[in-house]
């Protein structure tokens, strides 16, 4: 696995769903989830997953712009640097999607540096009833520390604790070894490899679909509301 690759399994175009970064969130675009996950999930190593809010706009915009070269090979939305106004607009759209129960967007924030953002994650209701997809990226300075694995594990637990959710998926291009390492370490199974549209420069059009279900997942989520 190359640690120069961004840890992201996010492949939806900006107009279809709620990617975990700077692409648009649409409250009406996904499957509605009955419950809501915790707004704060504590991780090891002095990090937490926070529900993305407008107060994070400056830090998130700075993090995205600092990591564009790192993200661009795998993420369509990283082709251009977002303005601060655009980041704020998409955060507001994400808040609407959260309240609608279609997408739940998070940021990784160091507990000791609450004004910093080192990655973005999300639970996305775009893969049909009873399931949520996890998308993510972690900044280049923080890869190789297990952050993506820990955060994806916490979100898997949070998702499978929701009423009506029995399955989570992580999807990534088969060439993105860093992203694929995350579900593999968490015990997801590789369900299939499917053809997918190529939307970013490094993609091959072959998408791995990693799956886990509630009966086989036993990792409890730590949460603080």
Region for residue 187 given its phi and psi (left: phi exceeds 0; alpha: psi -120 to 50; beta: otherwise): left
Domain span holding position 85: 40-216
Q: In this structure, what CATH number is given to the domain that contains residue 146?
A: 3.40.630.30
Q: Encode pLDDT of 188-206 as tens digits.
A: 999 999 999 999 999 999 9
Dihedral sign for Cα 11, 13, 15, 21, please.
positive
Q: Are 13 and 76 a contacting pair, CB within 8 Å?
A: yes
Tell whether 32 is covered by a domain.
no
Better pLDDT: 118 or 8: 118
Tell whether 1 is covered by a domain.
no
Tell whether 20 is covered by a domain.
no
pLDDT (mean) for 80-91: 96
Measuring CA to CA, which residue among 22, 188, 199 is closest to residue 105?
22
Tell whether 201 is covered by a domain.
yes
Give me the number of domains the chain comprises.
Answer: 1
Tell whether 200 is covered by a domain.
yes
Tell whether 46 is covered by a domain.
yes
Tell whether 140 is covered by a domain.
yes
| Euclidean distance between CA atoms 194 and 214, whole angstroms | 23
pTM (predicted TM-score): 0.86
Tell whether 59 is covered by a domain.
yes
């Amino acid at each position: 696995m190359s640690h120069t690759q961004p840890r992201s399994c996010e492949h939806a175009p900006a107009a279809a769903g709620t990617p975990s970064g700077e692409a648009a969130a649409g409250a009406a675009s996904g499957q509605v989830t009955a419950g809501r996950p915790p707004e704060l999930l504590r991780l090891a190593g002095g990090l937490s997953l926070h529900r993305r809010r407008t107060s994070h706009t400056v830090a998130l915009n700075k993090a995205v712009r600092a990591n564009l070269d790192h993200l661009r090979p795998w993420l369509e939305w990283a082709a251009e640097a977002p303005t601060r106004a655009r980041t704020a607009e998409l955060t507001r759209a994400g808040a609407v999607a959260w309240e609608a129960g279609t997408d739940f967007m998070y940021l990784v924030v160091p507990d000791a540096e609450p004004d910093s953002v080192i990655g973005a994650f999300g639970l996305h209701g775009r893969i049909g009833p009873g399931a949520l997809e996890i998308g993510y990226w972690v900044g280049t300075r923080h890869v190789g520390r297990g952050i993506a694995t820990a955060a994806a594990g916490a979100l898997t637990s949070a998702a499978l604790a929701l009423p009506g959710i029995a399955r989570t998926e992580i999807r990534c291009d088969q060439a993105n070894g860093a992203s694929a390492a995350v579900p593999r370490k968490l015990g997801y199974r590789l369900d299939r490899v499917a053809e997918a549209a190529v939307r970013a420069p490094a993609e091959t059009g072959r998408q791995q679909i990693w799956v886990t279900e509630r009966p086989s997942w036993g990792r409890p989520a730590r949460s603080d509301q």
